[in-house]
Chains A and B, each alone.
Chain A
Amino acid sequence: MAKQYETVIGLEVHVELATKTKIFCGCSTAFGGAPNTHTCPVCTGMPGSLPVLNKQVVEYAMGIGLATHCDITRVCKFDRKNYFYPDNPQNYQISQLYQPIARNGYVEIAVGDTKKKVRIHEMHMEEDAGKLVHDEWDDTSLVDFNRSGVPLVEIVSEPDMRSSEEVIAYLEKLRTIIQYLGASDCKLQEGSMRADVNLSVREVGTQEFGTRTEMKNLNSFKAIARAIEGERERQIELIEEGKSVIQETRRWDDNKESSHAMRSKEDAQDYRYFPEPDLVPIVIDDEWIEKIKEKQPEFRDEKLERYKKEFDIPQYDAEILTESKHMADIFEETTAICGKPKKVSNWLMVETMRLLKEHSMEPEDISFSPANLAKLIGLTEDGTINSSVAKEVFEQVFEKNVDPESYVEEHGLKTVNDEGALEEVLKEVIAKNPKAIADYKGGKEKALGALVGQTMKAMKGKANPGMVNEKLREMLN
């Protein structure tokens, strides 16, 4: 029988924090500025410049550490990691090696019905590097330091995961926690969340770990799953051929669905860490920790339970509503205004999800206001507009956050409740359809549907279908 292998995976996850300014200077962290506009002597490593730590970075890191059950390090320090690369003009990265801000935590994940804990070894704060863009014309690289000094936390897990499903469940859990904290938007595609996968294989039943490799450049959950599968196969093949796995960093190419070794011997990884002399220690007392604990939001698991109890929302619906904090906020705020949780949930679950999918958007990108959704619900509830008009108006609310009340007014979309006008249209429809009338009178109930449809069309969809139905029967009988 062929040997059975087990995959052992640990993750290093970098998360860009949502601060307004960089970690050590007052430059903006806004995404998409013209190259090098958000730079100063500190974040470009000019001699003599001095870093000063952004307090918000420490507080976000503490929030994430507490939410992932970590011990917060009471005396926490920064260290220099030395290396040469054009995206890093200081020739060192300010990071934390010896006294990282948080240690020994865990998150609970679920794959199917199986729950397990993934332990967190440590989490540290550090600065991001600049961005290199390849210039095809000159065959050179162009460096933009706008990202240099943007605050990051790196969350290092223990090698507790055994499959790509567990890895994705872990990443989704981290992402939800961090998004709920408002500490980052955690977008893999845009690089505000980046995961490096440390993977080794071993024969089922063995205790020792195999030699691991580190895989970089994974920018979607799908790429992560494919890279894990690919690397597992590559390592098993090496072992089966009697060769050994080399401990190295590999770069995943998702288009080719294969990886290659990134560093040669010339670029030996010897970072010669030493304590950062330009930054003083951070001393964290109980009082500060308590203050952060008080500010922690209601996280997803608690919210989900509350929705089920308080609003009588089914499990599946509550899962979708709480998947993103932004969506949950819209649900709660709209419900607070209109007092109709089921209706709000319905608009979010059906039409909002449909439009998000249609526009390839994430729940985070929803830009309509709870007030406008509440108004729309009000208009349908009091019969001002019918349900098909409501869908049409909702598309406008979704895309442009229009005020549904004035939109309905301006476009004349109110349901016509004027009996006289309806009667006129019905008379015409009846006159044009002698066959349908005969069918209906002959006992074919279905024939009435076509007549209602024609009437709705003649009234440009603004009639109240219930009223049309009723009036039509009245006139025919």
Chain B
Amino acid sequence: MANKISDETIEYVGILAKLELSGQEKEDAKADMEKMLDYIDTLNELDTDGIEPMSHVFPVKNVFREDIVTNGDGSKETLANAPLEKDQSFKVPKTIG
């Protein structure tokens, strides 16, 4: 394995992903990420100069909707997913922007 994931990196990725990992889980994740990076290195061996980066596998473009309201009151279905609910809203821990 050529790539090495440092403790700092796994800590940082954990913060970004909002994951709390145990010591063993961190070690496992490091090994997995190292394998992934090695695979990417294989792809990096290819010469991609002058090739447009691909963002989509199908040769499809300009798929649009017209600006017409098609959905009605969706609150019941949406709120069915709320672990906690109050005043027809999702209740979450106090969050200030």
Q: Mark A residues whose CB is within 8 Å of B.
A: 19-21, 25-28, 34-41, 44, 46, 52-56, 58, 77, 82, 84-86, 132-135, 138-145, 216-217, 251, 262, 266, 268, 270, 272, 275-277, 279-283
Chain A residue nearest to B55 (CB atoms) is A275
A132 to B97, CA, bound (A): 9
Q: Which of B79-97 contact A (CB under 8 A)?
A: 79, 81, 86-97
Report yes or no: B71 in contact with A266, Cβ–Cβ below 8 A.
Answer: no
Contact B63 A52 (CB under 8 A): yes
- The answer to whether A36 and B58 touch across the interface, beta carbons within 8 angstroms, is no
A277 contact from B55, B88, B89, Cβ within 8 A: B55
Chain B residues within CB distance 8 Å of chain A:
12, 15-16, 18, 53, 55-56, 58, 60-71, 73-75, 77-79, 81, 86-97
Contacts of B18 in A (CB 8 A): 84
Q: Are A86 and B90 in contact (CB under 8 A)?
A: yes
Report Cα–Cα, A39/B70, bound state, in Å: 11
Are B68 and A21 in contact (CB-based, < 8 A)?
Answer: yes
A26-B65 contact in complex given A36-B89, A275-B55, C-beta closer than 8 Å: yes
Answer whether A25 and B63 are a contact pair too, CB < 8 Å, given A134-B94, A140-B92.
Answer: no
Contact of A280 among B58, B73, B88, B91 (CB under 8 A): B58
Chain A residues, Cβ within 8 Å of B16: 82, 268, 270, 272
Q: What residue in chain B is nearest A55 (Cβ atoms)?
A: B64
Measured CB to CB, the nearest residue on chain A to B87 is: A142
Contacts of A56 in B (CB 8 A): 66-67
B97: chain A residues at CB < 8 Å are 132, 216-217, 251, 262
- When chains A and B are docked, how far (Å) is the Cα of A77 from the Cα of B71? 26
How many residue pairs, one in A and one in B, have C-beta atoms under 8 Å apart? 143
- A sample of 18 inter-chain contacts (CB < 8 A) reads A19-B67, A21-B68, A27-B74, A35-B88, A38-B74, A44-B81, A52-B63, A54-B66, A77-B55, A132-B97, A134-B94, A134-B96, A141-B96, A145-B78, A268-B16, A280-B63, A281-B56, A282-B61
What residues of A have a CB within 8 angstroms of the CB of B81 in the complex? 44, 46
Give Cα distance in the complex from A44 to B81, angstroms. Answer: 10
Q: Is A26 a contact partner of B78 (Cβ separation < 8 A)? A: no
CA of A67 to CA of B12, assembled, Å: 43
Which residues of B lie under 8 Å from residue A82 when comparing CB positions? 16
Give which listed residue, B64, B88, B96, contacts A58 with CB less than 8 A. B64
Shortest beta-carbon contacts, A-B, top 6:
A26-B70, A275-B55, A142-B89, A55-B64, A56-B67, A143-B90
CB A2 to nearest CB in B, in angstroms, measures 37
User: Is A27 within 8 A of B64, CB to CB?
Assistant: no
Would you call B91 and A283 a contact (CB within 8 A)?
A: no
Residues of B with C-beta under 8 A to A142: 86-87, 89-92
In the complex, besides A27-B71, A143-B90, 10 extra interface pairs with C-beta distance below 8 angstroms are A36-B74, A40-B71, A53-B64, A53-B65, A54-B65, A56-B66, A56-B67, A141-B94, A275-B53, A281-B56
Contact present for B95 and A141 (CB under 8 Å): yes
- Min CB distance, A199 to chain B, in Å? 20
Interchain nearest-CB distance for A152 vs B (Å) = 15
The smallest C-beta distance from B39 to any residue of chain A, in angstroms, reads 17
Contact B94 A139 (CB under 8 A): yes
- Indicate which residue in A54, A133, A276, A283 contacts B67 across the interface (CB closer than 8 Å): A54
Residues of B within 8 A of A21 (CB): 65, 67-70
Complex CA–CA separation, A294 to B13 (angstroms):
50
A37 touches B75 (CB 8 A): yes
* Bound-complex Cα distance A387 to B70 (A): 51
Residues of B with C-beta under 8 A to A132: 92, 95-97
CB contact under 8 A between A55 and B65, given known A44-B78, A134-B96? yes
The answer to whether A143 and B58 have CB atoms under 8 Å apart is no
